[in-house]
Amino acid sequence: MINNYIKLLLKSTNDLVYEFNSSTKTLKWHNNINKYFNLKNSNDCFEEFYSLITDDSQNEFLDKKNSNKDFIEIVFFIKDKNKKIRTFSDSSFKFIHNKQSIYIGTCKDITENLNYKLDTKNITNIIDSIDDFIFYKDLNFRYIECNKAFCNYVNRKKEQIIGKKDSEIFTKDTANFVNWYDNELLNKKESILSEKWITDGNNNQRFIQTKKTLVKDKQNKPFAILGISRDLTSKKQKEKELEESKKTYIRLFEANKVPVLFIDPQTYYIIDANKAALKFYGYTLEEIRAEKISNINTLTKEEVHHEMHLANEEKRDSFIFKHRLKSGIIKDVEVFSGPLKYKNRKVLYSLIHDITNKVKVQKALRQANTIYQNTKEGIFITDLEGNILSSNKAFTNITGYKKEEVIGKNPRFLKSHKHPNSLYSNLWEEIKSKGFWEGEIINKNKEGKNYPQWLTINTVYDLKNNPINYIAVFNDFSKIKEQEQLLREKDHIMFQQSKMASMGEMLRNIAHQWRQPLSVISSSASGLKLKQELKLLEPKEIPEFCDGILKSAKYLSETIDDFTNFFKNQNKKKEFSIKDAINKAVQLSSASLKNNEIDIITHINDCKLYGVENEFVQVMLNIINNSKDAFHEKNIENKKVIISNTLGKELTHLSIKDNAGGIANNIMEKIFEPYFTTKDKLQGTGIGLYMSQEIIRSHLKGEIRVENYQENQDKGANFTLDIPYTI
């Protein structure tokens, strides 16, 4: 099929016929091409043929031949065997043969078709399209032709120019110069170039460059003057500005407070530096000229290329480098660099800005932003009208509102309406007077659920101490509230357990205290009855027996009152006497101590404490009972508990110590833990000292500690209570 198509082409056209295999890059001609080209072989001659195509046509020729299109048209230029450039038109169709793309095409030389003579109209059109001022004069210096640009230059129509002399068009000075110039041309009979400031038809000063040439006939005889003028005003002004700029630049180079370096782009040596650069780097001019910029820039080639890539990505016209000073100190610098002609040579200039502090600030800002975005506390910033400008991730996590949902809004949409308007009025009054406010507030999240938060609002001031923003920090402490409630319930349970334990101890104390008066009552009643039965009772003895019974009954009643008062649920805090409270504790435990042959000694300097008195009494009873238990099953003579205190500036230091031998070291650190006890489970709960610590720390804002001591023959435990008091 391909061969048939080629035969058909050869019969129907005089154009060159070829086939081209785009896969193997082979070219085969089917008629005589040596008319145009000197090719050694008409088969497999692609490389040789391709080399004849002009450079500007090669890429387009190859791109189209590789385009794999079904039909290709192209115009290309080629050097013929006489080394002349000829223009060819090429058309080809694609065939698939053995799975390869074969193009069958024709080439036609269209060079002659493109050549044509320019007539007068064409010439006129051409010169009118030129921006330069073109004109013809006869040898009498009258204008015979000109282009549009010249008409615009002199501000006249062509018919107002043709036939006129320069004196009729230009100012007198300009006309005199032009006439002299034309005469010089006639005298020298060769082209002359002039440059001069001339007043144009609009009375504007313009710097005009003019080249004039004699136009000659076939006998080489001059018959006209051809002039081509070019307006160089802008160029002249730019040259002047450039000269001024150079002078200014040199002054600025030396006076510039910014370090400036000139660098040889081939060797990278520093060829010049201004005073600011010498001061910054610490070198003399001779020293810095001996340095390469690569010795000062501490970054590796890879790091430099990476920074250049970053600058391109971020569309910066500067680079961030680290430069080493002569002292060895490394500075962060921002370098603005570019090419410059300096002393007739191309150099690189570098403007150096020390940004060490800026980098530190940016690092601090990045760290601050990281903290801002990753802190667990919700943060938002508002303007002075309260409109939100920014919020962090925790804000979204706590409230449910995304950043884009709240920007520009007033945070009042978070209100739960659980607070009176007066709270918010007082809040803003305090912010305006003190610069901040903090407190607990109930707000509402996106789901409509109320939650407690601890909110802090601070005013942000500028350098002139003018308020510019507000910043609010808050957290959701619903879980903390729940934990606090659980702890309160736990403390209540433990307190009740402690009360019950104390009640058991009190019952034992009651038993000890009631034993003697009950014995007196029993003995008096029995004696009275026996004497009556034996007829030995004298009337005068009856009052004596009754007084004994009444006295003992009164003692029992007072004892009941003491214990009843202790167990009353008195939770109201108030001032109380430390001496009275300790005496109550001693009174309540005295019978039990006496029964165990333990002396209790007190040396109390009275002062006022603030809290619940019965709680303090319970602490004292717990410690006294702990000492009493420590004496159990120990053979110690002169058992005693000593209670004393001293008054400090803000605290009273209360000591309760015994001589029961002390506390084992492995027990000492656990003694205040809840439910820790060394007693049998039936004898103790292990919460007495834990509750004592809670009461001292949480309720009385004090501290409690225990240590062993030894004084002379006495050795035991010493509980110390440091409690703030009110005078």
SS (H, E, C) 205-271: EEEEEEEEEEEECCCCCEEEEEEEEEECHHHHHHHHHHHHHHHHHHHHHHHCCCCEEEECCCCCEEE
d(C-alpha 653, C-alpha 132), whole Å: 109
d(C-alpha 578, C-alpha 607), whole Å: 6
Q: Is 94 exposed, middle or buried (0-12, 13-18, 19+ CB in 10 A)?
A: middle
Say whether 40 sits in a helix, a strand or coil: coil
Identity (one letter) of the amino acid at 331? K
Q: Is the pLDDT of residue 311 over 90?
A: no
Q: Is the pLDDT of residue 724 over 90?
A: yes
Least confident among 135-139, 147-151, 377-381, 629-633: 629-633
Least confident among 38-42, 75-79, 180-184: 38-42
Q: Which residue has the higher pLDDT, 577 or 91?
A: 577
How sure is the predictor about 341, in pLDDT bands with cuts at 50, 70 and 90? Answer: confident
Q: Are 256 and 262 spatial neighbours (Cβ–Cβ below 8 Å)?
A: no
Give pLDDT tens digits for 676-685: 666 544 344 4
d(C-alpha 272, C-alpha 419), whole Å: 72
In 418-539, which residue ranges form alpha helices assigned H by DSSP? Answer: 421-434, 478-533
**93 contact partners, CB below 8 Å, separation of at least 6:** 5, 70, 71, 103, 104, 105
What phi, psi does 718 have (nearest 5°)?
A: -125, 110
d(C-alpha 677, C-alpha 683), whole Å: 9
What pLDDT is recorded for position 118?
A: 36
Say whether 512 sits in a helix, a strand or coil: helix
Percent with pLDDT over 70 in the chain:
81
Bridge-based pairing of strands 640-647 and 599-603 is parallel
Q: Is the pLDDT of residue 450 over 80?
A: yes
d(C-alpha 262, C-alpha 166), whole Å: 52
DSSP code of 463? T
How sure is the predictor about 258, in pLDDT bands with cuts at 50, 70 and 90? Answer: confident
Say whether 389 sits in a helix, a strand or coil: strand
Q: Is 595 exposed, middle or buried (0-12, 13-18, 19+ CB in 10 A)?
A: middle
0.75 cut: is pTM over it? no
Least confident among 469-473, 557-561, 583-587: 557-561
**375 contact partners, CB below 8 Å, separation of at least 6:** 392, 394
Cβ of 173: how many Cβ atoms within 10 Å? 10
What pLDDT is recorded for position 285?
A: 93
Most confident of 200-209, 210-219, 383-392: 383-392
Q: Is the pLDDT of residue 145 over 50?
A: yes
d(C-alpha 582, C-alpha 613), whole Å: 10
What pLDDT is recorded for position 105?
A: 85
Give pLDDT tens digits for 342-399: 777 788 888 999 999 988 988 888 888 888 888 888 999 999 999 999 999 999 999 9
Q: Is the pLDDT of residue 686 over 50?
A: no
**CA of 697: how far to CAs of 384, 401, 616, 723, in Å?**
43, 41, 11, 9
The structural domains of the chain, ordered by start, are 2-114 (3.30.450.20), 120-236 (3.30.450.20), 256-360 (3.30.450.20), 375-476 (3.30.450.20), 487-726 (3.30.565.10)
Give pLDDT tens digits for 526-577: 666 666 667 666 776 677 667 666 665 665 565 566 556 555 555 678 899 9
Q: Which residue has the higher pLDDT, 373 or 242?
A: 373
Least confident among 232-241, 605-614, 643-652: 232-241
Q: Kindly state the average pLDDT of the residues 229-249.
A: 80
How sure is the predictor about 474, in pLDDT bands with cuts at 50, 70 and 90? Answer: very high
Q: Kindly state the average pLDDT of the residues 331-340.
A: 88
What pLDDT is recorded for position 684?
A: 45
Q: Is 167 exposed, middle or buried (0-12, 13-18, 19+ CB in 10 A)?
A: middle
Say whether 92 sits in a helix, a strand or coil: strand
Q: Kindly state the average pLDDT of the residues 605-612.
A: 92
d(C-alpha 335, C-alpha 687), whole Å: 72
Which residue pairs, CB below 8 angstroms and at least 24 apart, start in 81-84?
81/34, 81/36, 81/37, 81/38
Q: Are 135 and 120 spatial neighbours (Cβ–Cβ below 8 Å)?
A: no
d(C-alpha 620, C-alpha 596), whole Å: 18
What pLDDT is recorded for position 121?
A: 55
Cβ of 102: how many Cβ atoms within 10 Å? 20
Q: Which of 651, 650, 641 is nearest to 704 (CA)?
A: 651
What pLDDT is recorded for position 222?
A: 87
Q: Which of 368, 476, 362 is nearest to 414 (CA)?
A: 476
Identity (one letter) of the amino acid at 276? A
Least confident among 233-242, 473-482, 501-510, 634-643: 501-510
Q: Which residue has the higher pLDDT, 400 or 562?
A: 400
What phi, psi does 404 have (nearest 5°)?
A: -70, -15
Bridge-based pairing of strands 378-382 and 388-391 is antiparallel
d(C-alpha 177, C-alpha 175), whole Å: 5
Percent with pLDDT over 90 in the chain:
29
Most confident of 195-209, 494-508, 512-526: 195-209
Q: Is the pLDDT of residue 34 over 70?
A: no
